[in-house]
Amino acid sequence: MERMTKMENTKENMDKILELLEERYRGAGTELKHNNPFQLLIATILSAQCTDKQVNKVTPGLFEKFPRPEDFAALEPEELEPHIKSCGFYKTKSRNIIATCKILVQKFDGQVPRDIETLQTLPGVGRKTANVVASNAFDVDAIAVDTHVFRVSNRLGLANAKNVLETEKQLMENIPKNKWRAAHHWLIQHGRQICNARKPKCEICFLSPYCPYYQNNVKEKR
């Protein structure tokens, strides 16, 4: 991650960044196609190390064939693997999805838990996945930190952390709670459209005047 040794963001700058992000990306939401919390949970597990676009190619047919947790729970991993192979890490994902569905059936009456801590007890569900499901399916205030959110928030100075968990903690401190869910999507969209990993489009970025990465790593080299 880029070091920020000079400009560090003030609360005023952070508020302005959030204002501009909201203005540009208002209404942004998850791009994983789903019709209910269970479908979102399975799609999010599949999205690990895979693009949402690819997951969306797989899930319509998958959920048509296996619409309920009970349907997945009855499978052997070898039966599920061919359906999700294109999402990568399909052997591990197959085992985790089946194990998760068995727990949903046995402990939760086939329903997806609403709270982040309980979600994290499910196989294949880490903190990011739990935050995604809780915030998008149940409107729980949470900030899921994926690669886009981690990169963009640290470049913008909304966080200054070396790992995902610390980034999440700092974002929760620097962003009003009622904007946590939306800010997650704003940062993802900004990461996809402008603040790319290898070649960020700083020259067209509307946040450049407030961005420590730009001020310290790009502007001073010009």
Question: Looking at the annotation, which residues are catalytic?
Answer: 128, 146
Distance CA(28)–CA(183), nearest Å, equals 9
Cβ-contact 1, 210 below 8 angstroms = no
Please report how the helices 77-84 and 52-65 are oriented relative to each other, as an axis angle in degrees rounded to 10. Answer: 130
Q: Find tokens 């499910």 and name the residue.
A: 122
Distance CA(175)–CA(15), nearest Å, equals 8
Q: C-alpha angle with apex 53: 51 to 56, nearest 5 degrees? A: 115
Cβ-contact 123, 95 below 8 angstroms = yes
Outline where 47-146 has alpha helix (H): 52-65, 69-73, 77-84, 90-107, 116-119, 127-138
